[in-house]
Structure 1
Amino acid sequence: MLTSMPPEGSAAPFPSESGPQAHDITRQLERVISSPEFPGVGRAAAFLRYVVSETLAGRGNRIKAYSIAIEVFGRDTGFTQDDPVVRIEAGRLRRSLERYYLVAGQHDPIRIDIPKGGYVPTFTWSCPASADTRNEDVEALPSPARPGRWERARQVLLLGAIVVTMLALSLYWLAALPTASSLQRAASPSPDRPALVVAPFANLGEGPEAQLYSAGLTEELMTVLPRFKEIKVFGRETSRSLPADVRASEIRAEFGARYLLTGGVRTSGQRLRVTARLLDTSDGEILWSENYDKDLASGDLFAIQTDVARKVATAIAQPYGVMAQVDAASPPPDDLGAYECTLRFYAYRSELSAEAHSRVRSCLESAIARFPNYATAWAMLSIVYLDEDRYRFNSTRNKEATIEHALGAARRATQLDPSNTRGLQALMTTLFFDRQLPESLRVGEQALATNPNDTELMGEFGTRLAMGGQWRRGAALLDEAIALNPGGGGFYHGTRALAAYMLHDNHTALLQIRQANMQKFPLFHVVAAIIYAEAGMMEDARREGEVFVAMRPDFLPNIATELAIRNIQPDDRDRLIRGLRKAGLTVPDPDKLASSVTGISELQPR
């Protein structure tokens, strides 16, 4: 491996003839700094740019803790070695470089390192072949025994050109230092999302088993958490580079992440206890904590790890989880822009009102205008577009155009990110309302396999299964979604109430419809009317029926169409119509309904 580094104190321009040339090094510097695997916030980029630029300019003798503190970290001239800022940041920079070359930079031609004991960087070819390639054309030429006058002149001219180039480059990069972070932000291909760092779970027990459990649980969390696309999870190499007792403030300073997940594993005989905590890195506040107790004799290690990791991930990272609740109640000071739209989307899903629909549609359209490759925003926009037709919220197109628009947005989301759960959910739902039931349920199965811990998906897929005639399986999925997310969208409870009614479980139907309480959502009231009538609560049934007719006067006259586009099966349709009539609502003659459905060509699968 070939190394090139000017001697400290040397005023000679960089570099040596056998090592990487300056223009190669500057390209590598930008490759490192612009990588997602290198901290995009904090001081690492400015630190690295400074020491590389000074070295290339032949000022390696100036790279001391004092000059770094003043020129990079803005300390005043009274800086002393009692201030550890440079030592701390240098350690972080070394770890960041190690992490980068382990992941994104494995095949980069040049390696940049900051050796311990100083701050002057070294530059090496990653493999001898790189150096050989650089000198290939030189070695192919015949080498005279003694250089002539023209050869000596050529070398002088070449050396002078290198000096001028290096001086220009060093001046350019030094001038660019103050705006480095803004340039990185401008080049960002995707919007900011709340970021989470997972520290290795601590081994709090004795013996090799506890260490095995803690390592395995950390690894399982790093598999489960990134499936939630609304958040950013730093990768495995970041996690492995941290001590288990890393401080929240260090995570904030080094990575700019708002959240830190920490925990520990303790074993005692056949008992295993896992403790997990979510911290706010701005002040170290514990936002959430939980203990999980397991009997090692009742299950294998992998099953235990999977179960605990799933519960932790669902609690903190799902759309209605701890992180989303904290962000909604107290948005971070950063300009998250597009992420705010995702919070509005889930708030809208809980409320399902025309007013909230209008706000979130405008927000999401602005988000994709700024970030056209943001798959999650496309997925959410697809669902919002679909609601223009199925709920009659702020319609801007006819039925067919609305479905096509929603399908286009859903397919755009899945093209950008085939594993995006929200994209698959949007495609499933839009296909369902396009009367492509088998394909819709196939996509739903794929989405559930992609992220079985996403309660938003569970609730939606359970609804699609139930309305498609699989009431029992749909009810089971809805029960799981409600158990994992008791404070989630009210539509979970509303659909579960309807499923209970169709399964002749009137007790559960009453309990669930009372928990739904979605007063601004028209279909809530018609389901409530049917359930109250079945329970003999006729006054409540009539009241809910009157509210529904006032909100959706077009629904009952077109009930055949409305139930057909929701894929309600014939026997289920007849039962619902009987329930509506029992609630005192006027429904057209069943014979006319049957003939009207048969004659509506637009309801056939496209």
Structure 2
Amino acid sequence: MPDATSPVLPVGAIREALEHILASTDFDASERNRRFLRHVVEETLAGRADRIKGYSVAMAVFDREASFDPQIDPIVRIEASRLRRSLDHYYLTGGQDDAVRVSISKGGYVPTFTVKEAADPTIDLPGAALPASPPRPADPVSIGPPEAHPVRENLGRLPRWLPWHVILVAIVALVAVWRLGALPWPPHAQTEATRRQGPAVVVAPLEEGDAEAARLHLGPGLTREVIAALSRYRNLFVFGNDTSLQPAPGNSADALARQLSADYVLSGTVSTTPDRIRLLVSLVDARSGRHLWSQSYESPLVPARIVDTEADIARRVVDSVAQPYGAIYVDKISGLTGKAPEQFSSYECVLLFHAYWRRTDIALYPSARDCLERTIIDDPDYADAWAALALTYADQVRFGIQAGSGVADPLERALPLAQRAVSLAPNAPLGYQAEHLVFWLRHDVEQSFAAARAGLARSPNNAELLADLGGRLCLRGQFDEGLPLLTAAFDRNPGQSTIYRLGFFLAHYMAGRFEDALTEASRIDQRENRFTHIAQAIAYAQLGRKNEAAAELDLLLKLSPDYGDRVVSDLQDRNVAPAIIRAVVEGLRKAGLSVPNAGI
């Protein structure tokens, strides 16, 4: 029902919006939640919004008996939460340009209908108080001619005097014709490289292991949540709910894999105890049947919070499978052995970048950079390739890599690459991570932190961004904010680069907890990174273990023979807080390194 500030919308326009939602593959609701949405919309349009209660919905949509008690059976509350999530997902994906929007606020089941404010004068509603549009990312530095959108460009030329509902009908008609193929798709939608830049994953319907799991419909609910979480990873091609949950007898993991030519199948079983939900899930190579990974996840069983619990379990599953250095990465990176980088696909080039990035393996740097240079030409819409290339150029400055790139100022090259990545994929985290690093190396610390926070606002569980921001906050001595981010990063992706543990090391070292500092330093496995040896040398020195400190110092000087003369400038170039620089220099001197007095 419209609120006091909403324009009064024609019933026909609302019904068209409803049908558009229900027909969209981006609306990932179950069949009964589609009935749920249709029921509450039609009841509201019929003037019976006051009758939409948990009891009436249970009877009309979920086939409950007259004895239904919403205090005992939480089915309507659970499914309403799932329906709200499906609507949120729809308006973040295929429905982001819909003129009429349908929503169901928490605490009730009556829908509201609003009009999205247009970015150009396509829809004109005189006198209507519309909500402000969310801020858009800043325009990036241009690296090529912008790609025109054939429908949106023409809509911008519509005359303002046309009635808004006529324009709305025209929009729906254009989209329908477009989908039927009478109008050309944007060029990037036609390429196989764009359709499947990375491996294809199908989620088999998660089985329900007991009656309570079946009563709460945990299998379909968790399956949908896992698919939604996997879909956020743009390097994966993920088959949607309609594929995974189709009511067919051959819907087993093996049958789905054969039918769809998938690379991986994720399957599992969900069960309950009186107070917990447990999911046992496995990843299988769809072609060989080889079992790659399995793990169990548990969460408290609270009926009123079932949907939030499903989302949390799904996030943990997908973090383990799909994040960089997760189960799919481990399998795919092993398949690159013996294959020349010139033969890599776009996805494999990004995979090679992650192999270099995880350990800062300088030997891989030229191949990764050259592979990415080729990728942005062959696959110019691949946002992660632009971001990865920006990060490789930034590393020339960060680690002093001399790789014959022919670029006079790598940071000047890196910034527009990062901005291009954000422009191509405003909700993907890697572009923001690249901006974060480039601004950091340009000594624009506030802009660097702003880029990382913008990325986390769109992808709050991304382990790499959490670790990058947390680690650099620690370099600035801001441990109260940085350490929780680092902890969350390693909770979400324990297999990521161990160099991020420098933040934990510094926190212990600055607090005088030198044994704990040494433990953290020993967990860093990047022996070609000088900061590994600096951390261990100063921790050993503070503990009085002179021989071990001297050994680490020797390894440091093999990597950087003149490091004693430039340690202060090196740390200042990395925006390290002055107090931390003084503490590191004091530790290096105690380890036996000659450091000139630079007035610090």
Band of TM-score, shorter chain: 0.5 to 0.7
Q: Do the aligned partners of residues 333 and 555 (structure 1) sit closer, same or farther apart at CA in structure 2, a change above 3 Å counting?
A: closer
How does 1:180-259 map onto structure 2 within 5 Å? 188-189=193-194, 192-206=197-211, 210-241=215-246, 246-259=251-264
Cα deviation, 1:98-146, whole Å, max 9, x if unaligned, reads xxxxx89xx9xxxxxxxxxxxxxxxxxxx9x98xxx9xxxxxxxxxxxx
With structure 2 as the length reference, what TM-score do the two structures score? 0.63
How does 1:220-369 map onto structure 2 within 5 Å? 220-241=225-246, 246-297=251-302, 300-330=305-335, 337-369=345-377
CA distance in 2, matches of 1:484, 1:345: 21
Residue in structure 2 matched with residue 521 of structure 1 by the alignment? 529
Cα deviation, 1:276-325, whole Å, max 9, x if unaligned, reads 22222113333222222333259822332122112101111111111111
Q: Do the aligned partners of residues 332 and 556 (structure 1) sit closer, same or farther apart at CA in structure 2, a change above 3 Å counting?
A: closer
Q: Secondary structure at the match of 2:251?
A: coil
Residue in structure 1 matched with residue 587 of structure 2 by the alignment? 579
CA distance in 1, matches of 2:292, 2:566: 49
CA distance in 2, matches of 1:519, 1:360: 20
Is contact 1:248–1:284 with CA below 8 Å preserved after alignment? no
Letter in 1 for 2:583: R
Is contact 2:284–2:291 with CA below 8 Å preserved after alignment? yes
Is contact 2:471–2:502 with CA below 8 Å preserved after alignment? no
Q: Secondary structure at the match of 1:393?
A: coil
Residue in structure 2 matched with residue 393 of structure 1 by the alignment? 401
CA distance in 2, matches of 1:355, 1:208: 51
CA distance in 2, matches of 1:247, 1:333: 34
Q: Which of 455, 462, 473 matches 2:463? A: 455
CA distance in 1, matches of 2:213, 2:565: 70
With structure 1 as the length reference, what TM-score do the two structures score? 0.63
Cα deviation, 1:1-20, whole Å, max 9, x if unaligned, reads xxxxxxxxxxxxxxxxxxxx
What RMSD over aligned residues (CA atoms) do the two structures have, in Å?
3.7
Is contact 1:248–1:280 with CA below 8 Å preserved after alignment? no
Q: CA deviation at 1:430?
A: 1.2
Cα deviation, 1:214-260, whole Å, max 9, x if unaligned, reads 33322322332222232222233333336597234433333222111
Q: Secondary structure at the match of 1:547?
A: helix
Number of paired residues?
424
Residue in structure 2 matched with residue 500 of structure 1 by the alignment? 508
Q: CA deviation at 1:515?
A: 1.8
Residue in structure 1 matched with residue 39 of structure 2 by the alignment? none
- Give the greater-gyration-radius structure (CA): 1
Matched, 1:544 2:552: yes
Q: Secondary structure at the match of 1:419?
A: coil
Identity %: 30
**Which sections of structure 1, spanning at least 5 residues, go unmatched?**
1-34, 38-102, 108-126, 135-183, 594-606
Letter in 2 for 1:250: A
Q: Secondary structure at the match of 1:590?
A: coil
Is contact 1:249–1:282 with CA below 8 Å preserved after alignment? no
Letter in 2 for 1:569: A
Moved more, 327-336 or 363-372: 327-336
Moved more, 215-224 or 380-389: 215-224
Q: Secondary structure at the match of 2:505?
A: helix
Q: Do the aligned partners of residues 416 and 220 (structure 1) sit closer, same or farther apart at CA in structure 2, a change above 3 Å counting?
A: same
Residue in structure 1 matched with residue 434 of structure 2 by the alignment? 426
Q: Do the aligned partners of residues 387 and 372 (structure 1) sit closer, same or farther apart at CA in structure 2, a change above 3 Å counting?
A: same
Matched, 1:412 2:417: no
CA distance in 2, matches of 1:397, 1:292: 46
Q: CA deviation at 1:379?
A: 0.9
CA distance in 2, matches of 1:197, 1:492: 32
Residue in structure 1 matched with residue 42 of structure 2 by the alignment? none
CA distance in 1, matches of 2:247, 2:497: 37
**Which sections of structure 2, spanning at least 5 residues, go unmatched?**
1-23, 27-93, 99-169, 178-188
